Structure 1
Amino acid sequence: MNLLHWLVLGCACALPLSASAQWQWVDNSGKKVFSDQPPPTDIPEKNILRRAGPSPSARAPAPATPAPEGSSDTAAAPKAAPPPKPTGVDKELEEKTKKAEAEQKAKEAAEAAKIAKAKAESCARAREGKATIDSGIRLTKVNVKGEREIMDDAARAAEQKRVQSVIDSDCK
């Protein structure tokens, strides 16, 4: 029975070692973060407290490739390319972000085109109105009661001034 106790105690002590595949770092707000994923790229190397797997300093150097015969030791031997570092960027998320930005730009362009079209129509109407007022023919307008009134010289000058301000603002 004594052997069984030691075996259970050994398993209980070895159990936390399975959690060594965890990353641990201090984030930008100063909190410790534990994860099975590597930290974001904006976390400086000095803030990474624990890595999944061996640390870069504990890794054994790659075996040197033998130099070809007849070459000196100082000749540059081809070096193995280091494994690519994880960028921490999700490609699907990047695509969705780009798509959303493109849709937003398209909406803004459509809105700008709609505003430009409305200004062009307003400009055309204002120019037609100015031509009518400048022609000197008798003009009438409908008052609040729905009755027709003939515009006198003061009303004609006020309408001409209003139409000219519309032309100045919309016809650029």
Structure 2
Amino acid sequence: MKTTRAKTVRGLLVCGLLCSFSVLAQYQWRDANGNMQFSDRPPPGDIPEANIIRRPRGMEPVRSLSTPSIPSSPAPQAGDKGGSKPASLAEREMEFRKRQTENAEKAKKQADKEAQDAQRKAACEQQRNQLAALESGQRMSRFDASGERVVMEDGDRNAEQERVRRSLEQHCK
């Protein structure tokens, strides 16, 4: 009983997956040879409008010439050709992807800058704490090359204070 039910469920899942692949094709058109094409990308620019059968929602062609169109590219300059032809769907898609990439790069640069600022701020705070500990007069120690603890002498303490002060003046203004 369980194996029959499992086979039925498995069969239904396979049918559902196979049927869902056709849904992924958002564009449908006939190519120059008359063959039906399915794709998630817009058809090539040489495909006539009459051969495009299906598009995603919101990508339908403008049906009326009386409705004002929003130019997708900047106004033609003096050296440009004609300029009255609207950008194709593929060109608008490329411009959109370019804007997306630029915005992502700007956001990444901003996030990197904020991370660097946070690291610098944390390093400055650590150096201020180290300077306060050195100036407090409490006994300080270091580890030498062999890993043994060595108590700092007054001369070493003064030299370390000067080094930390210079570093604060340079990096933590």
Structure with higher Rg: it is: 1
- Normalising to structure 1: TM-score of the pair? 0.49
Higher RCO by CA contacts (8 Å cutoff, separation 6 or greater): 1
TM-score, length-scaled by structure 2: 0.49
